[in-house]
Amino acid sequence: MLNLAKMKSIYLDYAATTPTHELVVAEMQPYHACVFGNPSSLHHFGRDGKRALDLARDQLAALLNADPEEIVFTGSGTEADNFALKGVAYAQAERGRHIITSKIEHHAILESAAFLESQGWRVTYLNVDTNGVVDLDELQKALTPETVLVSIMHANNEIGTIQPVEKIAEIIRQFNLRQRSEKNSGVAASPVYFHTDAVQTAGILGVDVKKMRVDLLSVSAHKFYGPKGVGALYINKGTRISSFMHGGGQERGRRASTENVAGIAGFGKAAEIAQKERKGWAEHAAKLRDKLTEGILKTIPDSILNGHPTERLPGNVNVSIKYVEGEAMLLNLDMQGIACSTGSACSSGSLEPSHILLAIGRTHADAHSSLRFSLGRHTTEEDIDFVLEVLPKIVSRLRAMSPLYKK
C-alpha cells in the first residue's frame, strides 16, 4: 500500500501547463472583486478595467517585439490558431483557396485545416525528416498563386523540435517578390501570409516577430506561468483577416466578447516576468534536460530520443522505450509521484499513436512506447536523479512481463 504522506511529488509536464507564477496570481487578484468593471463601459469602473487591458497589451507586445495594436487577446492558444487559419482563409477566399501546413502541427491547426478542407479549401501537409524538421524544398514546390497562408509551428509540443522559421519566412518572401514581379500573373496585391504557433516558445525562447518576419503568431499564457483561459494572436499591420468571433466591438472589432480582465492582467504580468527571467529558465531547464536524456539513453537499453538532438525546446525530453507501453510507464511513474505524459495533453485520452511520432518515421509500437518529460523553473537536479533511479526499474519490471521483449 502506498504511503502517500511520504511519496515524492515531481511535476515534469510543463509542456501541458505551468503553475501560475506567484506574482501573476497577486496581479490578478484585484480584478476578481475590486476592479470588476466591464472594460467597454465608459464610467470609471470600466476605465479601470480598460487600463488593465492596455497595460497587458503593452507587456505582451514588448515580449514579442510587436506593436500593442497588433495584439488581439483570445480565450486560448487554440482559439488563436483557429482565428489565424479561418480568419485568413475567409478574408482571402477570392484571392485563393490553398493553405500549407505540416504533418506535425498541433491539433488546433490540423483540425482547423480539416474543417477548411470540408468547406472547399485545399490543404498541403508538408513532410518532416526523422528529427521533425519541415522539408523546405517541399515548401518551395508547394507554393502556388492560389496559396494564401503557410502555418508552421515554431516548436513542436511533443518532440520539442524547433523549426527554422526565419528560413521559412525567407522562402515565402522570395515567392511573394516573384509573384509581384510577374506583370500578368493575375495575383491580387495580398501576399502569402505566414503564421506560426508559438504556444510552446513564447516566454521561453526569444520570440521576436520582426526578426522572424511572421504575419501572425499564436501564444498562450498558461505555457509560461500565466493563467489558463487566455491567449493572444499577433496580427501584423496590414494583414487581411476576417473576424473569428462575432458580436460586440471588443479588441477593435476583431474578437467579440467581454474580455477576461483578470486573466489578461495575469497574462501581461507573466509576459513582463518572462522578458526578464526566460533566459535563466531556459538555461536551467536545458541543463537538466541533457542530464535526463543522457541518463535514460545510457541506463535503459533500446531507448530512442525523439526530435532534434540539439535544436529542441530547453525543457523537452521525448523518448521511445521499446517493448513497453507508454501508458504503463506513465501510471507506474505516477505511483512514484512523478507526473509526465505520453504525448500532447490535448490527445492524452486517445488510443491512437501520436501523429507526430508516426510522421518522423517511428513505428506504431515505438510511438505507443513514448514518454514526454517536460521540465520547468521549479524542476531540480534531485527530481532528475529520482526519475533516473526509478524509471529503469519500472522498465525492467514491465519488460519482464512483455512477450515481445527478449534479453
Our CA angle for 283, 286, 292, nearest 5°, is 145
Residues ≥6 apart with Cβ < 8 Å to 1:
none
CA distances from 311 to 65, 308, 371, 376 (A): 23, 5, 19, 18
Q: How far apart are CA 15 and CA 341, in angstroms?
A: 9
Q: How far apart are CA 75 and CA 264, in angstroms?
A: 10
Q: Is 34 a catalytic residue?
A: no
Length of the chain: 407
Taking the CA atoms of residue 115, residue 118, residue 123 and residue 126 in that order, the dihedral angle to the nearest 10 degrees is 60
Which three three-digit cell numbers place residue 197?
A: 504557433
> Which member of 35, 286, 339, 346 is catalytic?
346
Q: How far apart are CA 40 and CA 50, in angstroms?
A: 7
- Sheet of strand 193-197, all strands in order from the earlier edge strand to the far edge: 71-74, 231-235, 216-220, 193-197, 147-151, 98-102, 122-126
Q: How far apart are CA 316 and CA 155, in angstroms?
A: 11
Q: How far apart are CA 158 and CA 169, in angstroms?
A: 23
Residues classed as catalytic: 346
